[in-house]
Amino acid sequence: MQQIEWDESLSVGVKSIDEQHKVWIEKLNTLSAAIASCQKTRHISRTLDFLMDYVEFHFAAEESLMTAKNYPAFAQHKSEHHQFRMTLMDLFVLEVEEDDAVGKIADSINNFQISWLRNHIQQTDRRFANFLRAKSPAPAEAVNCSS
């Protein structure tokens, strides 16, 4: 099972977004590890639920920030989130209905979720983060003239 590690190449330069991406990655790795160590389907299914809940939370957080800041590429960014969400929903349906659900979840992580997350962070989220930083630049450093 593949894992993904957060490093500077995945930083978008906005702390709150980076922190959420780290938690997402941690949850994805937990799911991957649960599958690799042949945990019971019920455990894997619960781990997938935690991941899905977090993804929803994170998408909502990014999207409300985009709305608040009038981000011009909001619709396109939101639609990428939606596509990903739909793919995860397919897994959620699988987990209750099919025998090979774990195999399909594994396949989704190894061949889709990790690469999607990496690409989405490095391109789409970074574009948004650049926009955010341009809108509210970091405060200038204080100059000490007292000496």
Question: What residue ranges bind Fe ion (CB under 5 A)?
Answer: 62, 125
Tokens of 111: 């061949």
* Residue 55 or 102 having the CB closest to Fe ion: 55
Q: Which amino acid is at 119?
A: N
For residues 32 and 43, the answer to whether their CB atoms sit within 8 Å is: no
Look-up of token digits 């650049």: 130
Smallest distance, Fe ion to C-beta of residue 124, A: 6
Smallest distance, Fe ion to C-beta of residue 45, A: 25
Smallest distance, Fe ion to C-beta of residue 135, A: 17
* Residue 10 or 34 having the CB closest to Fe ion: 10
Smallest distance, Fe ion to C-beta of residue 115, A: 15
* Residue 95 or 125 having the CB closest to Fe ion: 125
* Residue 77 or 101 having the CB closest to Fe ion: 77
Rounded alpha-carbon distances, angstroms, from residue 68 to 58, 122, 134: 15, 22, 15
Pick from 28, 10, 30, 31: which is nearest to 19 by CA? Answer: 10
Helices (H), the chain: 15-36, 41-68, 74-97, 101-108, 114-119, 126-135
Nearest residue to Fe ion, scored by beta-carbon proximity: 125
